[in-house]
Copies of this chain bind each other. A is one copy, B any other.
Amino acid sequence: MGANYRMVTAASGGEGARRMYAVIMAGGRGERFWPRSRKQFPKQFLPLTGRRTMIQMTYDRLRGLIPPERIIVVTGSDLAGLVAEQLTELPRENILVEPVGRNTAPCAGLAAVVIESRDPEAVIAVLPADHQITDQDGFQGLLRVASALAREHAAPVTLGINPTYPETGYGYIQAGEPLSPQSQARWVERFVEKPSLEKAREYLATGNFYWNSGMFIWHVRTIRRLIAEFLPEVDRGLERIKEAWGTPSAAKVMAAEFSRFPSVSVDYGLLEKTPRIVVIPADIGWDDVGHWTAVSRLSSCDQDGNVIEGNVIAIDTKDSLISGHDRLIAAVGVKDVIIVESEDAVLICAKDRVQDVRQVLSKLRERGLKQYL
């Protein structure tokens, strides 16, 4: 497939890539990676699966396709410093700060109006800051194709990941007709929220369902049109932000508008309501690295199935992730456990319960232990 797409690219992707922008969404809090991921130092700034951090790898992945001046990072005000520190080549003016987080739809909208003022013919690839993709060439090839299709059809394009097992933690995309007889890209039939295990198995069996990767490619006019249609109050706010952009009142207008925006995702607020969306099947070594067990799966393990880093002594310990910070960690006779130590906290979590790390954060909030968040 990669080769096939690279041929398409050579034929039609030239302009697409030239006027292509990337928007890296880096406002998440990575709660499931507590205690390493913290409110003030979340997941995307951690080197979870390699030596570079998640956002650095997301940025690196665009090298050769999109230059730094066309990469935009959207993040929270308390995280902008980390973005600048970790992405040293990124022009400072390309870091957009959301006054408050309002999920992905307002985030994508903000990026759209800022990019629109630079190039009203831009195609934008919206990318989460904290995913892993091992096939960089395949990924870039798909972005070129997606860009061309987004321009040609004036429709949003999503990358749909070929599912390899019945994951219940992802949304799915049901694919319908191909765009053309030769095309691997297909029209989206519907978006499906996280399914039950039974449903997930059914989806897998049909061969027509893809994991929703959260990566979207659209012409700036397309996203603005969708927001105007389905989130008109956000659209009006974005207009006011666009007008104020670059003036002394920009910050004030941003704060006022964002505080009024609903918290709504691109999927739920826009795409699920849109009839014409393209999905491109993507086989690019993607993983959303959603929790500690994913890190464990994506890292190379020893002969006992363990992933170990830091100052660790493991005795008869199997299929576990042990990540030390500065203390010695000794594990004896445990299996399928995640052990993560940070400066001020230690997590011990059953591997099949990593989704519930969020409950720890709820408890911390309940007890007013903000220093651990």
Q: What is the interface of chain A, defined by CB distance below 8 A to chain B?
A: 34-35, 313, 315-316, 327-334, 337, 339, 341, 344-350, 352-354, 356-357, 359-360, 363-364, 367, 369, 372
Q: With A and B bound together, what is the CA distance between A111 and B101 in angstroms?
A: 72
Q: With A and B bound together, what is the CA distance between A236 and B15 in angstroms?
A: 99
**Contact (Cβ within 8 A) A332 B359:** yes
**Contact (Cβ within 8 A) B333 A356:** yes
**Contact (Cβ within 8 A) A329 B350:** no
**Closest CB-CB distance, A343 to chain B, in whole Å?**
8
**Closest CB-CB distance, A310 to chain B, in whole Å?**
11
**Contact (Cβ within 8 A) B315 A344:** no
**Contact (Cβ within 8 A) A313 B348:** no
**Contact (Cβ within 8 A) A360 B348:** no
**Closest CB-CB distance, A299 to chain B, in whole Å?**
19
**Closest CB-CB distance, A357 to chain B, in whole Å?**
6
**Closest CB-CB distance, A345 to chain B, in whole Å?**
4
Chain B CB within 10 A, most for which of A330, A354, A356, A369 = A330
Contact A334 B348, CB 8 Å, known A313-B364, A315-B363, A328-B369: yes
Copies of this chain present in the complex amount to 2
**Closest CB-CB distance, A20 to chain B, in whole Å?**
42
Contact A346 B347, CB 8 Å, known A356-B315, A359-B315, A360-B313: no
A364, closest chain B residue (CB): B313
**A34 partner residues in chain B, CB cutoff 8 A:** 330
**Contact (Cβ within 8 A) B346 A35:** no
**A360 partner residues in chain B, CB cutoff 8 A:** 313, 315, 330, 332
Contact A346 B364, CB 8 Å, known A356-B316, A359-B315: no
**Closest CB-CB distance, A269 to chain B, in whole Å?**
32
Q: With A and B bound together, what is the CA distance between A329 and B346 in angstroms?
A: 5
**A330 partner residues in chain B, CB cutoff 8 A:** 34-35, 345-349, 357, 360
**Contact (Cβ within 8 A) B363 A313:** yes
**A337 partner residues in chain B, CB cutoff 8 A:** 334, 348
**Closest CB-CB distance, A351 to chain B, in whole Å?**
9
**Contact (Cβ within 8 A) A372 B333:** no
**Closest CB-CB distance, A308 to chain B, in whole Å?**
13
**Contact (Cβ within 8 A) A353 B333:** yes
A354, closest chain B residue (CB): B332
A371, closest chain B residue (CB): B328
**Closest CB-CB distance, A25 to chain B, in whole Å?**
27
**Contact (Cβ within 8 A) A329 B348:** yes
Can you add 5 more A-B contacts, CB < 8 Å, to A330-B348, A333-B352, A334-B348? A313-B367, A315-B359, A316-B353, A316-B356, A332-B350
Which listed residue (B346, B350, B353) contacts A341, Cβ 8 A?
B346
Which listed residue (B331, B353, B364) contacts A348, Cβ 8 A?
B331
Q: With A and B bound together, what is the CA distance between A347 and B331 in angstroms?
A: 6
Q: With A and B bound together, what is the CA distance between A27 and B116 in angstroms?
A: 77
**Closest CB-CB distance, A26 to chain B, in whole Å?**
26
Q: With A and B bound together, what is the CA distance between A329 and B369 in angstroms?
A: 13
